[in-house]
Structure 1
Amino acid sequence: MTRGLAAMQDRGFRWFFLARAITMIAGSMSSIALAFAVLEIDNDARSLSFVLATFTVSNIVFLLFGGVIADRLPRALIIQSCYVIDILTVGAMAALLFADAATVPLLALLSVLNGASTAFVLPAMQGIIPQLASPEHLQQANAMLSFVRSATTIGGPIIAGIVVASAGPAWAMVVQAIGWVIAIPVLAMVKLPPPAHEGGTTLFHDLRIGWSEFWSRTWLWVIVLAFMVMNAIHVGAWGVVGPYIAKNDDRLGITGWGWVVSAEGLGILLMTLVLLWVPLRRPLRFGMLGMALFAVPLTVLGVHPAVVLLAIAAFLAGAGAEVFSTGWNLAMMENVPGDKLSRVSSYDMLGSFVAMPIGTLVYGWLVTHVDVVTVLVTSGIVYAAVALLTLFVPSVWRMGRVEGALTH
């Protein structure tokens, strides 16, 4: 088997990959569907920012508990259980939209439930991959998952833009719910060893152990602090201001925004093909350089949001983001003990996500009170500066791969 597909030699990873691919394909239209569902009810960036913030706040509240549970219980079972919750919440959103009974508060309430479910899924997902893929196949395993994610990101937003414009956002949510239904029995085929967690400890003791593991690694908490700022900018400037400009600026438009997001996905896709075969020897150094590229589409979105120009900028940013994504997963999975990985990941996610609700709310206010060009250009400068400053930390700049990971 070729190097790029070497992770498929691991049986457990094959089933997990199939289940994950199904949910990524089915859910690829959901973010755009939800964004324009809210704007259809109330064409106000503040309403959109409120719904997005409720999801994120709920996710943040439950993340640490999700990490502890994922280190205590079978991770595949946790993911299956949360998919049931997702089916119910997304199905309820679709039903409300079909019945013309959806309101911003109701969508926000369902987003709270969906955010809580995701808080248990994400740490379990992070911890399950090293259990399924052998150490020498970790880069390929992560790159393969990113390949599917980016492939669906390319097609999903384009299809979502067409479906939302012609039939409404509810149908995209129906597709997502169906995908989750199919994925649950597929995940049942994943066989894992019993959790390595030692019994008799309390939840708070487990949290303290996770914090100790997190804080003892300078490269980890420095990058998490950087992403606290970067994610707040990303979710506000790109997630709130982007759709708002698309809705109200003919140079971009809803369909054009779908093409832009798809171009970002194409950049990710092509980079995953590179990373399937090319070893990433300095995962954090090149990863943070790649993240700095996101300043380019932020600036273009403000200065001249024409579809073609913005799509090119988004393509470059997507390629850079994928270098970081694969590099970060490798750094975590190769340097954090597997029985503590979900807890450490939950601290990573908590720090990275905690300022996102502030970002959504602040940018929802800024877009109605401050010149949008000034907002987005300033955001791009700050974003690039924060990403590049992490490279002055020696453990970020020098981080390499563990022994034996590059031998295949």
Structure 2
Amino acid sequence: MTSADSPAIRPRRPSWAGRNYVLLTAAAGVTNLGSNGALVAAAFAVLEAGGDAGDVGLVAAARTLPLVLFLLIGGAVADRLPRHHVMVAANALNCLSQAAFAVLVLAGEPQLWQMMLLTALGGTAHAFFSPAAEGMLLSSVEGEQAARAFAVFRIAMQSAAMGGAALGGAMVAALGPGWVLAVDAAAFAVAGAMRSFLDVSHIPAREPGGGMLSDLREGWREFAGRSWLWVIVVQFAVANAVIGAAQSVYGPLVARDSLGGAGPWGLALAVFGGGTVAGAALMMRWKPRRLLLAGTLCVFPLALPAAALAVPVPVAVLCAVMFVTGLTIEVFGVSWMTALHQEIPEDKLSRVAAYDWFGSVAMLPLAMALAGPAEHTFGRAPSLWGCAALVVLVTAAALCVPDVRNLTRRTTKVTRDPAQEAPVKGELESTGG
């Protein structure tokens, strides 16, 4: 009980943590908690059904192929329709596909084509969700504290990923993969309900355009006109592909053969999540002036997990490697979001995000589908060493581009003068979402 002389002390959110930001952060935490456990569960569901490395790769590729095919359309849709409607619809499809996957696994031996079909539906939903979610998040913060907001968001997201991976690995070992998939379906349902309360009234109405192709062309001009943007996306097209193959296909196999199964592998993924939390916490205080130079230098350690699996190192060493990798890659993640926020006009955010996502995942289906044949042809260890080498090579190449090295942090955001094609600058306080 309080008196007039002792007013109640009410905790206040920081000025940058508005209602949309809080809802987006909480919902991302819920979905990451379920989805990271489901990644472990899906791989072991394939293995328990009698599949091999090639089958694990095919199921993983089935998710990423529709992601590649529909991302650009998803970005254009998200810049035309209310973004939260797109996000909720995508979450509903994810919920239904994961629930069906869980039922199949719990009921008996699922067929490979069934698992591929259901993961493809999840990938389709992700293709529409990701550009809408990124555009919504980037428009939910403003001012000089944007980088801090992105760091806090990623702390919440990666903390949930860490818990989800550890819990998922333990649940797969104790209960089997089907129950983990069921939890993921429930997480999508909860997150979709939360995202339905997002407010888009602050986002200016889009002027009628020339159709979907016109929107895609306009997004392409924004994307291709910035060398730092497309160079980093090309870099991650290769890096994400080989690391995706290493962790989604080879990782569970190494865990099964040398590390003790799903539990230790889930622990390693959880420690990676712990590293990302530490990296995001670091970025709350550290504001490198050259955003992408600092971020890109921190991509080199992304080669370490593939190298560690190639040896393979003991679980304790693998966990240490995963922690360092998570910390450094999160430095890149926050720097990248900050660069997009300050350089890309609000009405183009989802389309640019779609080209970003498209380039970053374009080679994933091929890499995952070829992971099994590569293992049969070259051996697992040489294939993993090749993954590590490619990460180093493409990262070094990206640093050769002046705009990547020289893009600097500033307190202004690029906007687009509607009467001109040339970019103009406006203060973040007056133009941020």
Please report the RMSD computed on the Cα atoms of aligned residues, expressed in angstroms: 2.1
- Cα distance in 2, alignment partners of residues 27 and 379 from structure 1: 24
Is the helix fraction higher in 1 or 2?
1
Q: CA deviation at 1:26?
A: 2.9
Q: CA deviation at 1:8?
A: 5.3
Instruction: Render the CA deviation track for 1:237-257: whole Å, top value 9, x for unaligned.
Output: 2221111111222x4532111
| Partner of residue 234, structure 1 | 243
Q: CA deviation at 1:365?
A: 1.2
Q: CA deviation at 1:402?
A: 2.6
| Partner of residue 102, structure 1 | 110
> For 2:407, which of 399, 403, 408 is the aligned residue?
399
Q: CA deviation at 1:119?
A: 0.3
> For 2:255, which of 246, 256, 266 is the aligned residue?
246
| Partner of residue 205, structure 1 | 214
Identity percentage over the alignment?
Answer: 31
Instruction: Render the CA deviation track for 1:277-321: whole Å, top value 9, x for unaligned.
Output: 322432211111111111122112101331011111111111111
Q: Is the 8 A contact 1:283 1:326 kept in 2?
A: no
Q: Name the SS for the 2:176 alignment partner.
A: coil
Question: TM-score, normalising length from structure 1?
Answer: 0.94
CA radius of gyration, larger in? 2
Instruction: Render the CA deviation track for 1:26-67: whole Å, top value 9, x for unaligned.
Output: 333111111111111123000010011011111111001000
| Partner of residue 259, structure 1 | 267
Q: Name the SS for the 2:208 alignment partner.
A: coil
| Partner of residue 221, structure 1 | 230
Q: 1:19 to 1:7 in 2, by over 3 A?
A: farther
Q: Is the 8 A contact 1:231 1:353 kept in 2?
A: yes
| Runs of 5+ consecutive residues of structure 1 not aligned to the other structure | none
Q: Is the 8 A contact 1:7 1:133 kept in 2?
A: no
Partner amino acid for 1:185?
Answer: A
> For 2:154, which of 126, 146, 149 is the aligned residue?
146
- Cα distance in 1, alignment partners of residues 114 and 234 from structure 2: 33
Pick which of 148-157 and 223-232 moved more: 148-157
- Cα distance in 1, alignment partners of residues 411 and 51 from structure 2: 54
The answer to whether the aligner puts 1:371 opposite 2:379 as a matched pair is yes
| Partner of residue 339, structure 2 | 331
Q: Is the 8 A contact 1:7 1:13 kept in 2?
A: no
Q: CA deviation at 1:352?
A: 1.3
| Partner of residue 170, structure 1 | 178
Q: CA deviation at 1:363?
A: 1.5
Q: Name the SS for the 1:136 alignment partner.
A: coil
Q: CA deviation at 1:231?
A: 1.2
Q: 1:392 to 1:207 in 2, by over 3 A?
A: same
Aligned length: 405
| Partner of residue 119, structure 1 | 127
Ranges of 4+ aligned residues in structure 1 off by more than 6 Å: 405-408
Instruction: Render the CA deviation track for 1:209-239: whole Å, top value 9, x for unaligned.
Output: 0111110000011111111111111111222
Q: Name the SS for the 2:197 alignment partner.
A: coil
Matched ranges for 1:64-103 at <5 A: 64-103=72-111
| Partner of residue 39, structure 2 | 31
Q: 1:17 to 1:153 in 2, by over 3 A?
A: closer
Q: Is the 8 A contact 2:144 2:411 kept in 1?
A: no
- Cα distance in 2, alignment partners of residues 304 and 82 from structure 1: 38
Pick which of 226-235 and 186-195 moved more: 186-195
- Cα distance in 1, alignment partners of residues 327 and 363 from structure 2: 25
Q: Is the 8 A contact 2:63 2:120 kept in 1?
A: yes
Q: CA deviation at 1:135?
A: 3.0
Partner amino acid for 2:194?
Answer: V
- Cα distance in 2, alignment partners of residues 137 and 30 from structure 1: 34
- Cα distance in 2, alignment partners of residues 304 and 203 from structure 1: 48
Q: Is the 8 A contact 2:276 2:323 kept in 1?
A: yes
The answer to whether the aligner puts 1:134 opposite 2:142 as a matched pair is yes
Q: Is the 8 A contact 2:33 2:165 kept in 1?
A: no
